[in-house]
A and B are shown apart, each in its own frame.
Chain A
Amino acid sequence: MAGNERMRPADQKIGKTKRRPDLFMVLTWVASVAAVVTLLWILESIVTPAWPAIQQTGLSFFTSTVWDVNRNRYGALPFLIGTTESSLIALLIALPLGVFIALFLSENFLPLGVRHVIRFVVELLAAIPSVVYGLWGIAVVIPLVQQFGGYLSDFLGFIPLFSGPATGNSMLTASLVLAIMVLPTITAISRTALVAVPPTLREGSYAVGATRWETIFRVLVPTAAPGIVAATILAFGRAMGETMAVAMLIGNSPRLSWSLLSPAGTLAGLLANQFGEAQGLQISALMYAALALVVLTLFVNMAGEAVLRRAEKATAGIR
């Protein structure tokens, strides 16, 4: 694609008239610069107030487990772990589920009309506001987790992951609801990727005698992998930044715990909870936490980009 002479637009100089600045080009230029400037601006306005905390706590901010406003000690490790852990568990649940739904919707198991309806309903999940997910979590998921969590801790309590007591507002509750929240992202993008696989590949696979399942898992899914990876990354990003629903369900505890049935906290939840009443160094420490969240999401997106590019290269031959 790159370097192909024919792909370049024709030269715009006509006759001997001097080339005028193209209004459209100027507009697009301004728009893209504005986006970059906004990002830098946001970063600047986080870093400046965060600076006192960065100077005082330095890297111990990421290794200390004590967040004690009273004694002006700020360690964000529990929240950092809470953010990553809840998002990873959510993906662990949503990824297989989402890919299966996407496969189901891209194959012809059901008539097209029915698939359209299912697809619409799954994508509608994305339209539900975060706070409604939180309320639903309170009404439905918390009682479930309390009950089944109780059994889990009774029978499997010797495993640290399931040690009791089982509280309703816990890591598990938050992760379950997050999984449902990111499901439409994974499903929609994976489905698009699966549908975009050239039909010739499928036909070729059938022609050499592969069954439908072999075709799906050996040909279709690997070919659509870049799209599925992209979906996963977007979902991960959304899960990490999710604030309202998680703050309502996770129990907002600054204590580290192995157990999924214990309350935990996330960076976004910490910010939402404490910012209103914060004073002095606490504001600064919260800004530092915000910076950590931004950097974390940025890092995930960059890692995702890298994986995406690699996967694209690997499948370039068959496209």
Chain B
Amino acid sequence: MKTSKVSFLFLGALVTQLFSWSASAATQLQGAGATFPAPIYQRWIAEYTKANPDVQINYQGVGSGAGIKQFTQNLVSFGASDAAMTDKEIAAVKQGVVLIPATAGSIVLAYNIPGVDNLKLSREAYAGIFVGKITKWSDPAIAKTNEGVKLPDSPITVCERSDGSGTTFVFTKHLSAISPEFKDKIGEGTSVTWPTGVAGKGNDGVTALIKQNKGAIGYVEYGYAKNNKLAFAALQNKAGEFVTATTASGAATLATTQFPPDLLRAWPSDPDGKDCYPISTFTWLLLYKKYDNTQIVEAVKKFVNFGLTDGQKFAEELGYIPLPKEVVDKNLEALKTVQ
């Protein structure tokens, strides 16, 4: 008798509690997609919700492909993808899609050769390494651009991504643009079949492979290489200059991007300009053109607006490239079309 009374009271308390929760419930935004921009998105979320406690935002770095899938199935309030969305994918979303290139980054070729920290790779050299044609560090194609550097006569261990990834997409797109042989043999895609090397899962997996294997080279996001203190090579750009990945050289590349008028989707696959770092890219937020819920649409717009303006100042410290002003302006225009 006593216990039943107690449990009844407890149940009552629980019910009231539940009601009070739902009454004060904040607007909840769910986002999912690319892992590459996840750190900066998380930072935006942290900063934005600090100032706006009535909004709760949750972003899951599940990968670009999975992000597009969840976005198309209407499971999230916004998606994110390093490979934007294809026309076919956009057509599958009945509410319409607004692509927002929200932040940008560079991909570097990190390497592990003890005693060498200023490697320069010509276009021919790094394309050759990833095609599997250049297999030793002492290869003349590498030696030619590295006079005075003592390169070992050891095999090159090429490190790549084993999982499907936007990073692979951008990197293979670039290699396909500069090497017909690469385009023909391997091609571009989020998951390609490499002719040589070992593969690890995620940027951290590749980073670990490079650290473990002497004579290794692999492609990782600039931020990962920087945080893990990996050495990365200066790459030869279209103009023939050797450029290291920095915020400035990445920004120079982004500035060359020409967007088509109606859709903010373009990759500077092989930028033309002597200060340009050859492999820099945008990464996109995916928004619906029409939202059902006015509360959610307002929250999404305000949050994205924050990211595009105030949020850009976190880019550099996290290893991303702040967006050029023209791109921010175009984005803000595009954001207005979201309803």
- A residues near B, CB below 8 A? 66-71, 138, 142-143, 146, 164-165, 167-169, 247-248, 251-255, 263, 269, 272-274, 276-279, 282
Which residues does chain B contribute within 8 Å of A69, judged by CB atoms?
A: 164, 189-193
Interface check B280, CB cutoff 8 A: no
Q: Are B163 and A273 in contact (CB under 8 A)?
A: yes
- How far is B333's CA from A114's CA once the two chains are assembled, in angstroms? 75
Q: Are B162 and A247 in contact (CB under 8 A)?
A: yes
8 tightest Cβ-Cβ pairs between the two chains A and B: A277-B164, A277-B65, A252-B162, A251-B198, A252-B199, A165-B155, A273-B162, A276-B63
- How far is B209's CA from A138's CA once the two chains are assembled, in angstroms? 9
Partner of B198, one of A253, A273, A279: A253
Which residues does chain B contribute within 8 Å of A252, judged by CB atoms?
A: 162, 198-201
Interface check B212, CB cutoff 8 A: yes
Interface check B255, CB cutoff 8 A: no
Which residues does chain B contribute within 8 Å of A68, judged by CB atoms?
A: 192-193
Q: Which secondary structure characterizes the binding site on chain B? A: loop
Told that A167-B213, A276-B63 touch, could you supply 10 new A-B pairs with CB distance under 8 A? A69-B190, A70-B192, A146-B212, A167-B157, A252-B198, A252-B201, A273-B164, A276-B164, A277-B163, A278-B164
Which residues does chain B contribute within 8 Å of A251, judged by CB atoms?
A: 198-199
Interface check B62, CB cutoff 8 A: yes
Q: Are A169 and B190 in contact (CB under 8 A)?
A: no
Interface centre among B65, B187, B194 (most CB of A within 10 A): B65
- The verdict on A168 contacting B191 (CB below 8 Å), with A70-B186, A253-B197, A277-B63 known, is no
Q: Are B187 and A70 in contact (CB under 8 A)?
A: yes
A-contacting residues, B64-86, CB 8 Å: 64-66, 69
Interface check B165, CB cutoff 8 A: yes
Which residues does chain B contribute within 8 Å of A165, judged by CB atoms?
A: 155, 157
Which residues does chain A contribute within 8 Å of B192, judged by CB atoms?
A: 68-70
- How far is B66's CA from A168's CA once the two chains are assembled, in angstroms? 31
- How far is B161's CA from A254's CA once the two chains are assembled, in angstroms? 12
Interface check B248, CB cutoff 8 A: no
- How far is B186's CA from A71's CA once the two chains are assembled, in angstroms? 9
Q: Are A146 and B213 in contact (CB under 8 A)?
A: yes
Partner of B64, one of A66, A263, A277: A277
Chain B nearest CB: distance from A128 CB in Å? 20
A–B complex contacts, Cβ < 8 Å, 15 sampled: A68-B193, A70-B187, A70-B188, A70-B189, A70-B193, A143-B212, A164-B155, A165-B155, A165-B157, A169-B200, A169-B209, A252-B200, A273-B199, A277-B163, A278-B65
